[in-house]
Amino acid sequence: MKIAVMVSGGGTNLQAIIDSIADGRITNTEICLVYSNNPNAYAIERARKAGVPYVVKSPKEFENRSDFNDALLQILQDAAPDLIVLAGCLVVIPEQVVKAFPNRIINIHPSLIPSFCGTGYYGLKVHEKALERGVRVSGATVHFVDEGTDTGPIILQKPVMIRQDDTPEVLQKRIMEQAEWKILPMAIDFIANNRVTVKDHRVIIEGYDPDALF
Ligand code: GRF
């Protein structure tokens, strides 16, 4: 399976994917493209070091959003991935891209959806809101992308316990280490090995074992 990984920032999830392909936790998979909207994303450096093809294209290079959306679709269609992985991608995915890749785009979100998700919940904000609300458990979710924001079918979730002295930064890091870097590669491996089907907005994973997440 060929995957395109879309990034905007540090790229630690991209690194988890690169490392998992190298050590066999993800099988049957190659990265055909890393796309970044942000020319300064460290993720690009990670792609370069791993010898993976990458493209940087910022919406700022275009006169309007519609031209950017057309260019983005073209970039993705040229790479012809079987799966698009949003790994910290801050670009709103245009409807035409979602339509071109139905149930073939996945996203990692740093909370247990449907908590702390939707418009405005990205980056540190997610963790700030979780701490403000005083929840005792947060975590991460891998889900398919549909036309809504964080509304697509859920593939995997993993809980992470909150500590009373957590700051948004500390919680963000622990959720990455304990949840995101594990469930995102796992979801890709399941999809690459044809173990994932979607029926009535719910995901069925062949041979799913929740204990394997811990
Ligand atoms: C992660 O917290 C991810 O859940 C969110 O954006 C962050 C990306 O981090 N969607 P990185 O670029 O993978 O380090």
Read off the pLDDT of each residue in 95-107 and give the average, rounded to a whole number: 97
81 Cβ closer than 6 Å to some ligand 1 atom = no
- Point out the domain boundary residue: 101, 117, 142: 101
- Which position has the token pair 């994932």? 196
User: Are residues 62 and 160 both part of a single domain?
Assistant: no
What radius of gyration do the chain's Cα atoms show? 16
User: Are residues 72 and 124 both part of a single domain?
Assistant: no
User: Are residues 127 and 38 both part of a single domain?
Assistant: no
> Is position 109 annotated as part of the catalytic site?
yes
User: Are residues 187 and 204 both part of a single domain?
Assistant: yes
Residue range of the domain that includes 80: 1-101
User: Are residues 208 and 170 both part of a single domain?
Assistant: yes
Closest CA to 7 of 125, 16, 30, 174: 16
> Counting atoms of ligand 1 from 1, which one is nearest the CA of 86?
10
User: Are residues 147 and 211 both part of a single domain?
Assistant: yes
- Point out the domain boundary residue: 101, 129, 151: 101
Confidence at residue 119, expressed as pLDDT on a 0 to 100 scale: 94
> Residue of the nearest CA to atom 7 in ligand 1?
88
Please say whether the beta carbons of 145 and 152 come within 8 A.
Answer: yes
Please say whether the beta carbons of 30 and 21 come within 8 A.
Answer: yes
10 Cβ closer than 6 Å to some ligand 1 atom = yes
Please say whether the beta carbons of 74 and 94 come within 8 A.
Answer: no
Tens digits of per-residue pLDDT, 36-67? 999 999 999 999 999 999 999 999 999 999 99
- The DSSP symbol for 60 reads G
Tens digits of per-residue pLDDT, 62-99? 999 999 999 999 999 999 999 999 999 999 999 999 99
User: Are residues 59 and 152 both part of a single domain?
Assistant: no
Report the alpha-carbon distance of residue 29 to residue 59 in Å, rounded.
29
Tens digits of per-residue pLDDT, 123-167? 999 999 999 999 999 999 999 999 999 999 999 999 999 999 999
Q: Which of 125, 180, 182, 184 to mutate to test the pocket of ligand 1 (most atoms within 8 A of CB)?
A: 180
Strand, coil or helix: 130: helix
Read off the tokens for 14.
């991209």
- Point out the domain boundary residue: 45, 70, 101: 101
> Counting atoms of ligand 1 from 1, which one is nearest the CA of 126?
2
138 Cβ closer than 6 Å to some ligand 1 atom = no
User: Are residues 119 and 75 both part of a single domain?
Assistant: no
User: Are residues 204 and 127 both part of a single domain?
Assistant: yes
**Which is it for strands 54-56 and 105-109: parallel, antiparallel or unpaired?**
unpaired
User: Are residues 153 and 65 both part of a single domain?
Assistant: no
User: Are residues 21 and 78 both part of a single domain?
Assistant: yes
111 Cβ closer than 6 Å to some ligand 1 atom = no
User: Are residues 91 and 130 both part of a single domain?
Assistant: no
Q: Which of 12, 45, 143 to mutate to test the pocket of ligand 1 (most atoms within 8 A of CB)?
A: 12
Report the alpha-carbon distance of residue 160 to residue 210 in Å, rounded.
14
Could you give the number of structural domains in the chain?
A: 2
Q: Which of 91, 176, 183 to mutate to test the pocket of ligand 1 (most atoms within 8 A of CB)?
A: 176
Could you tell me the CATH number of the domain that includes residue 131? 3.40.50.170
